[in-house]
């Protein structure tokens, strides 16, 4: 009886926790885009204006983060963002050293793998795509 209860709790909460992971990851990720594009939140070490590549990066982070936040086209957005984070890691962080904790690339690696997980798992219970599917079936 206890095992059935655990299985029911897991079946009920796993899609919800996936959505919470998706939402929290997106909220944190969006900050990177808004910082690059709008200077908010203010960077610790403000520098000169951004080169064009960082403007593109900021747009990818902002738009992709918003798509992930709302669970809209989660899988394709997550796939693109995972690749984006892999490129960011190898272009910016890896040249500084081998270990992510030493080259300050641990966030890029973590985001990359969370986005890969979302690419496979989808948006979870609380996503616009899930609502769209439910409305089509109704």
Q: What is the pLDDT of residues 75-100, one digit of tens each?
A: 999 999 999 999 999 999 999 999 99
Average pLDDT over residues 104-120: 98
Give this prediction's pTM. Answer: 0.89
Model pLDDT, residue 27: 98
* 22 touches 129 (CB < 8 A): no
Q: Report CA torsion sign: 118, 56, 88, 23.
A: negative
Q: What is the reported pLDDT for 45? A: 78
User: Which is more confident, 50 or 57?
Assistant: 57
pLDDT of res. 59: 97
Q: Which two tokens stand for residue 4?
A: 């059935």
How many residues does the structure list for the chain? 138
Q: Is the pLDDT assigned to residue 2 strictly greater than 70?
A: no
What pLDDT score was predicted for residue 137?
74
Residue 138 has what pLDDT?
63
CA separation for the pair 52, 23 (Å, rounded) = 28
Q: Given this model, what pLDDT does residue 37 score?
A: 93
* pLDDT tens-digit readout, 10-54: 888 999 999 999 999 999 999 999 999 999 998 887 777 778 888
Residue 8 — pLDDT band, cuts 50, 70, 90? Answer: low
Residue 133's pLDDT band, with cuts at 50, 70 and 90, is confident
Report the pLDDT value the prediction gives residue 1, as an integer from 0 to 100. 56
Question: CA-CA-CA-CA torsion for 107, 122, 119, 57, nearest 10 degrees?
Answer: -50
């Amino acid at each position: 009886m206890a095992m059935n209860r655990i299985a029911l709790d897991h079946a009920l909460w796993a899609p919800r926790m996936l959505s919470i992971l998706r939402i929290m990851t997106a909220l944190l990720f969006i900050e990177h885009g808004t910082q690059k594009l709008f200077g908010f939140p203010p960077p610790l070490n403000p520098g000169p204006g951004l080169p064009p590549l960082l403007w593109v990066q900021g747009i990818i982070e902002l738009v992709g983060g918003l798509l992930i936040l709302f669970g809209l086209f989660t899988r394709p957005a997550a796939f693109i963002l995972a690749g984006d984070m892999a490129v960011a890691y190898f272009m910016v962080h890896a040249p500084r050293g081998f270990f992510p904790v030493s080259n300050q690339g641990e966030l890029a690696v973590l985001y990359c793998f969370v986005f890969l997980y979302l690419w496979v798992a989808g948006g979870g219970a609380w996503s616009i795509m899930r609502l769209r599917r439910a409305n089509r079936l109704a």
